């Protein structure tokens, strides 16, 4: 099972400059753990760990086949072989 993960410029320091890396996992949470195993440090940039558990960081957008994962289960979103995952930091400010 291979999932292509598109990496934004700001996180390419974790992927040796690669714009896209392969990953594995039946859910987004599992995929992120797999990414962390190959690109240590990347998980902390994607996930916020609090006393209430883990969630995607508020200003990180993740899309599975062009769907914002917030609408399809967040970290529990299911993944299948051949899916494309895109990570994009929010463009936002005050």
Partner 1 sequence: MLTISQTTYDAIVAHAKRDHPDEACGVVAGPEGSDRPERFIEMVNAAGSPTFYEFDSTDLLALYREMDDRDEEPVVIYHSHTATEAYPSVTDIGLASEPGAHYVLVSTREHGNNDGSVEFRSYRIVDGVVTEEEVDVVPALPTD
**Which residues of this chain interact with partner 1, rule CB under 8 A?**
8-10, 59, 61, 63, 66, 68, 70, 86, 88-94
* DSSP per position, 30-79: HHHHHHHHHSTTHHHHHEEEETTEEEE-TTEEEEETTEEGGGTTGGG-B-
Q: How far is the CB of 64 from partner 1 (least distance, A)?
A: 11
Closer residue to partner 1 (CB): 10 or 26: 10
Closer residue to partner 1 (CB): 8 or 33: 8
Q: Provide the token pair at 91.
A: 């463009």
């Amino acid at each position: 099972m291979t999932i292509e993960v598109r990496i934004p410029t700001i996180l390419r320091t974790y992927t040796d400059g690669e714009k896209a890396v392969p990953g594995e996992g039946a859910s987004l949470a599992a995929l992120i753990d797999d990414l962390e195993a190959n690109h240590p440090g990347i998980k902390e940039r994607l996930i916020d760990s609090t006393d209430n558990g883990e969630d995607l960081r508020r200003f990180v957008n993740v899309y599975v086949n062009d769907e914002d994962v917030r609408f399809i289960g967040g970290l529990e979103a299911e993944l299948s072989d051949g899916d494309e995952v895109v990570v994009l930091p929010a463009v936002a400010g005050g």
